[in-house]
Amino acid sequence: MAVSLAMTVNGKPVNADVDPRTLLVEFLRNNLGLTGTHVGCDTAQCGACTVHVDGNAVKSCNVLAVQAQGANVLTIEGLIAEDGTMHPMQAAFRDCHGLQCGFCTPGMVMSAIDLVNRHPGADEATIRAELEGNLCRCTGYHNIVKAVRQAAAVMGK
Amino acid sequence: MGANDTATMTSVVGQSVLRKEDARFLTGTGQYTDDVSMPRQTYAYFLRSPHAHANIDSIDVAKAKQSPGVVDIFTGADLQGVNGLPCGWLITGTDGKPMNEPPHPVLAQGKVRYVGDAVALVIAESPAQAKDAAEQIVVDYDVLPSAVDSLDALADGAPQIHEQAPGNRCYTWALGDKAAVDAAFANAAHVTKIDIVNNRLIPNAIEPRAALAHYDRANDEYTLYVANQNPHVERLLMTAFVLGLPEHKVRVIAPDVGGGFGSKIYLYPEETAMVFASKKIHRPIKWAAERSESFLSDAHGRDHVTHAELALDKDGKFLAMRVHTTANMGAYLSTFASCIPTILYATLLAGQYTTPAIYCEVAAAFTNTAPVDAYRGAGRPEATYVVERIVSQAAMEMGIAQDEIRRRNFVREFPYQTPVALNYDIGDYEQTLDAAMEMADVAGFPARKAEAQKRGKLRGLGYAAYIEACGLAPSNIAGALGARAGLFEAGQVRVHPTGSVTVFTGSHSHGQGHETTFAQIVAGRLGVPVENVSVVHGDTGRIPFGMGTYGSRSLAVGGTAIVKALDKIVAKGKKIAAHLLEAAESDIEFRDGKFTVAGTDRSKAFAEIALSAYVPHNYPLGTLEPGLDETAFYDPTNFTYPAGTHICEVEIDPDTGVVDVVAFSACDDFGNIINPMIVEGQVHGGVAQGLGQALREQCVYDRDSGQLLTGSLMDYALPRADDVPSFNVATKVTPCTHNPLGAKGCGEAGAIGAPAAMMNAVMDALAPVGVTHFDMPASPYRVWNAIRAAHGHA
């Protein structure tokens, strides 16, 4: 009872037959080998699995793969330019030491990009409120907030 | 390129060099355990006890074995001959007897003792099939009464959890001179008493525990990938104590690990059962815990119930302290559980103060809860919380300013021998207090408080002047205190023929940034660019040995082992240079990456010496081996003593009980610092965890059923970005006197200082409404109730 799935992931078309209960995050990690998207919880609380579906940040552990049928999915692996240049958000996280163990980082970066897209001039309070759905246990959020502000300044140009 | 990428070689130590590891983490190319896969791998699921305490009358796996995709199922009955998991520290009680140390089976043997206790290992072709099959296993439980609270477990008539631990007592242990303390209390002008609970926490590293076990029949060798903080210790305990396997036939790899905070130090049942099963089924087995499993089965932290008394003279000088603590060990002794509320707790009760007499008694109880072990700070946050809460309360009772009571009691002469075994080598507590007060703008606080009052809000300022003991400490002394492991660290420096360097360290990085910090040490010493130094960690197959990362020991102990290996590299390099330069070895100086004949301009670059070592055509082969690859083991002569003052400012809405942490300032003395950016990040994270404990986090088991009520991230409140402020952090330096780096350690300080600082701020804010104490976390419910109670409402 596998279902046929077709979507675009990081700009490339992908097709697969999957068990209908397959989550989008399982499809990305297990079928496509895109292990940069992580699973940190089972209640859609931690945000480590955040990816973009049709431009919106989505917790991919909370979406069936079939729900992304025909969608355009962007993961952390798809952010870097062909010449190796990091997205301004990735660069800002590095420059501001916005990551430690790195496990929440892909989801945090994907959420942060979405938040800056929606709130280009976000202040600290807005950034903190908008990142409420992404847990980090290492950084105390201080440098993440700093990184998002720095990236927002670059992305706004 | 970041602004700091171009730091020059000589000044690279002390610079905020951007992290080498970040590129892979930021591009999704990190390799955490669950990202590793092997051909033909199977998937594990652990069936866990739904009961807190029950006898297992029978387990029927027949139907489950017919479930689609099932490869095999193991229960306790299949593990006959496999030993229990060992505890790494033997505590001797006040009665002179060793602690009660009941078996900790890998899979339940006839009885389950907490909700989450592993009962069966189900292996299938997919995780979903393993989980489906587990539902077909029929376990006949005879449910027994349970005790989850440590005081309940020690009470008369409590259900007996282990035959080997009468009354559920693991040990009663004491430290200090009781008679001297009693005498001092008899002559005290003032006595402050406090009853406090250090709330039970669940660590919640964002990467859940995971493992991948593989048995290679061709070579009779095992490989275990595991999310773990100290792979060599994991291997030693698993092979020598539990499974009886040859240590050299097991390779343990802890690849990228997504945070630990203590919870990944230990040898757990899951990976042990998987290694055992991997040989039985001849296929790799993978397991990644679901978060709910992490809540149930990761070792928890804290859970102390304490009564403390402080005796003071009329001027607020501390005369003595008396402490009684009941510590919850959980259902089984986890790897280091026994030393946390004893060796790492009672020894810290002097704090930064000259209290001349201290006596502490600790009762450790088995309960029907998950095992409790080290969690960021491990004993030291608990000690700091007792000391700084009671000092703060004493100051309020005696009308002495919070900074003043601390100044009157600071240790000012070093080395200082405390009455609780530790010998502080160096510190300057007044310096960090003064700096923290300036950072927190204490002078401006009355105006801020008055302004808040106009808005109907209560403002408070709280201090915590903490000390910690890090870099655990001479192996022989630890051994005399009951440690069953050494506490040294190993480092290997391999210089390649072209002069680039690979460092193999027994420390493990799971967020701490060792790949950068350790590279800076090597670059600074050898004069090679940071980019030319790689750091390898977390692999027993590549690293000589290691004790891993915990207790803020990586730089002070692991870093020093690398320095010792570098000393050997430089010493050998001088011999090679002396030969090439036709000079006496004693005339060779090494500086800025060059070996020079003193007083001349004749020199050889480091890379030339490296090449000579591997292409020894012109080389003293008769007296010197080729190659440039040195290993050192370093066993510290003392603990290190990081210390500092944290000041927290809160604003409380008395109508709702909501606590807003409006400012947090931390001035810490970590000794010499290699990478300030990384150190600041460690403080930020530690403070957030400490504020999490004080503000939000609370593990709750139902007292009747023993069910874990806070079993998901929807019930257990980790601090989120909007719960904490940006932090104000700074450092002062008194270099550690007994390691060549002068380093003390910084990983736990925030989690140690923050809870007391925040709760002292809360009590300061609530003093005007008559509240003097309640226990963490300061949730709106507890704050609101405390205010109501102070107003005479029940």
B721–A132 CB contact, under 8 Å: yes
3-state secondary structure of B496: coil
Whether the CA torsion B194, B195, B199, B200 is positive or negative: it is: positive
Average pLDDT over residues A131-157: 96
On the question of pLDDT at A1 being above 80, the answer is no
Q: How far is Cα A71 from Cα B73, in angstroms, rounded to an integer?
A: 40
Instruction: Tell whether B685 lies on the interface with A, counting CB pairs under 8 A.
Output: yes
What does the alpha-carbon distance between residue B464 and residue B647 come to, in Å, rounded to a whole number? Answer: 6
**Mapping DSSP to helix (H, G, I), strand (E, B) and coil, where does residue A53 land?**
strand
Choose the closest CB to A42 out of B34, B206, B292: B292
Residue B128, chain A, CB below 8 Å: the answer is yes
The number of residues in chain A equals: 157
Residue of B nearest to A100 (CA): B511
Burial of B704 (0-12, 13-18, 19+ CB in 10 A): exposed
Which of the residues A89, A103, A154 would you substitute to probe the B interface, choosing the one with the greatest number of B C-beta atoms within 10 Å? A103
Q: Is A104 exposed, middle or buried (0-12, 13-18, 19+ CB in 10 A)?
A: buried
What's the gap in Å between the CA of A149 and the closest CA on chain B?
Answer: 13
Angle in degrees, 0-180, between the axes of helices B749-766 and B780-790, rounded to the nearest 10? 40
Contacts 24+ apart (CB under 8 A), B573-579: B573/B606, B573/B609, B573/B628, B575/B620, B575/B623, B575/B624, B576/B609, B576/B612, B576/B613, B576/B619, B576/B620, B576/B624, B577/B604, B577/B609, B579/B618, B579/B619, B579/B620, B579/B624
Q: Which residues of B228-259 are buried (b: 16+ CB within 10 A; e: fewer)?
A: bbbbbbbbbbbbebbbebeeeebbbbbbbbbb
Distances (CA, A) of B75 to B112, B214, B292, B792: 12, 19, 21, 56
Does the distance separating the beta carbons of B684 and A86 come in below 8 Å?
no
CA distance B280 to chain A (A): 26
CB of B719 closer than 8 Å to CB of B675: no
What does each C-alpha distance from B7 to A96, B102, B529, B755 come to in angstroms? 17, 55, 9, 37
Substitution target from B1, B27, B31, B33 for chain A, most A beta carbons within 10 A: B27
Across B641-697, where does the E strand assignment appear?
A: 643-652, 659-669
Q: How many residues does chain B have?
A: 794
State the alpha helices, DSSP H only, in B469-604: 475-480, 514-526, 560-581
Nearest CA in chain B to A134: B720
* pLDDT for residue B794: 58
Chain B: closest CA distance from residue A6 (Å) = 22
Does A40 contact B513 at a Cβ distance shorter than 8 Å? no
Q: Do B677 and A97 touch (CB under 8 A)?
A: yes
Strands B659-669 and B728-732: parallel
Q: Give the three-class secondary structure for B59.
A: strand
Sheet of strand B54-60: strand arrangement: B111-112, B54-60, B138-143
**Residue of chain B minimizing CA distance to A144:** B721
- HSE, side-chain direction, 13 A CA sphere, residue B333: 29
Q: Domain residue spans in chain A?
A: 3-78, 88-155
CATH classification number, A88-155, choose in 1.10.10.60, 1.10.150.120, 3.30.70.120, 1.10.1200.10: 1.10.150.120
Phi-psi region of B746 (alpha: psi -120 to 50; beta: other; left: phi over 0): alpha
Name residue B489's amino acid. E
Contact between chains at B26 and A42 (C-beta distance less than 8 A):
no
Can you give the three-state secondary structure of B360-400, one letter per residue? EEEEEEECCCCCECCCCCCCHHHHHHHHHHHHHHHHHHHCC
Give A100's contacts in chain B (Cβ within 8 Å): 259, 511-513, 681, 685
H-run or E-run covering B693: helix B676-695
Cis? peptide before B255, omega within 30° of 0 = no
The answer to whether B612 and B628 are in contact (CB under 8 A) is: no
pLDDT at B511: 94
Amino acid occupying residue A138: C
Non-local CB neighbours of B438 within 8 Å, separated by 6+ positions: none
Q: What is the DSSP letter of B239?
A: I
Sites in chain B below the pLDDT cut of 70: 1-10, 794
How crowded is the C-beta side of B114, counted as CA atoms within 13 Å? Answer: 27
Give residues with Cβ within 8 angstroms of B5, minimum separation 6: B17, B18
The pLDDT assigned to B3 comes to 37
Alpha-carbon distances of B155 from A46, B97, B195, B620, B622, rounded to whole Å: 39, 21, 18, 74, 74
CB contact under 8 A, B724 and A138: no
- Strands (E) in chain A, as ranges, are 3-9, 12-18, 50-53, 56-59, 72-74
Contacts of A144 in chain B (CB under 8 A): 721
d(CA B21, CA B510): 11
CA-CA distance, B380 to B377, in Å (whole number)?
Answer: 5
SS3 B187: coil
Taking the Cβ of residue B715 and every Cβ of chain A, the question of whether any pair is shorter than 8 Å is answered with no
For B620, the token pair is 């003293």
In three-state secondary structure terms, B17 is coil
Q: Please answer yes or no on whether A36 and B205 come within 8 Å at the CB atom.
A: no
pLDDT for B605-621, tens place per residue?
A: 999 999 999 999 999 99
Domains and CATH numbers, chain B: 304-473+638-790 (3.30.365.10), 488-634 (3.30.365.10)
**Alpha-carbon distance values, B230 to A29, B234, B252, B491 (Å):** 27, 6, 9, 14
Task: Please tell me the predicted confidence (pLDDT) of residue B10.
Answer: 53
How far CA B778 is from CA of B71, B388, B755, B784, in Å, comes to 49, 17, 10, 9
**CATH code of domain A3-78:** 3.10.20.30
Q: Tell me how far apart the alpha carbons of residues B403 and B409 are, in angstroms, rounded to a whole number.
A: 10
Q: Is B710 exposed, middle or buried (0-12, 13-18, 19+ CB in 10 A)?
A: middle
Interface of B with A in 277-296 (CB under 8 A): 288, 290-292
Identify the sign of the CA torsion A121, A126, A127, A133: negative
Q: Sort strands B304-312 and B221-226 into parallel, antiparallel or unpaired.
A: unpaired
- The two structure tokens encoding residue B191: 């006595």
Q: How far apart are CA B330 and CA B339, in angstroms?
A: 14
Beta strand B111-112 pairing with B458-467: unpaired
Which residue's structure tokens are 């250090």?
B198
Cβ–Cβ pairs < 8 A, chains A and B: 179
Please list every residue in chain B whose beta carbon sits closer than 8 Å to the beta carbon of residue A36.
27-30
